[in-house]
Structure 1
Amino acid sequence: MYKFMERMGSRLLGAFVPEVEASAAAAGCRWKYFSSCWQCGYGACDAYCCDGAGCSTVACY
């Protein structure tokens, strides 16, 4: 009976909660070069950006 309830609960949860991948690679994180960054006084910079999570400026040039 417990196993049956567990399976039904998992199916019900799966119907309402999408399954997501938690790794950084799945988030589409990569280094990007920008020719104009406001954080660097509109000079060039490198930033580490993740899809849906924004960027963090790492180096100004």
Structure 2
Amino acid sequence: MTAVINSELDQLRRGIAERQRYIEGQQVLIEVLEHDGHDVREQEIALNSERSKLDQQLQLLRKRQA
């Protein structure tokens, strides 16, 4: 049972790390686009959605580790 729980926690941690990298990359892209004069409202909305999903994953990880 412990192995299953640890596996789930590891999978959740990997998902969190992947989402964090994605968010960081998108933030850089948005900054470049904005610097070049592009309208980035849609990208910012999508990025905020990803940040919200990341927050949900982090909360879930905290609950499962408790």
More strand by share: 1
Please give the TM-score of this superposition, normalised by the length of structure 1: 0.29
Please give the TM-score of this superposition, normalised by the length of structure 2: 0.27
More helix by share: 2
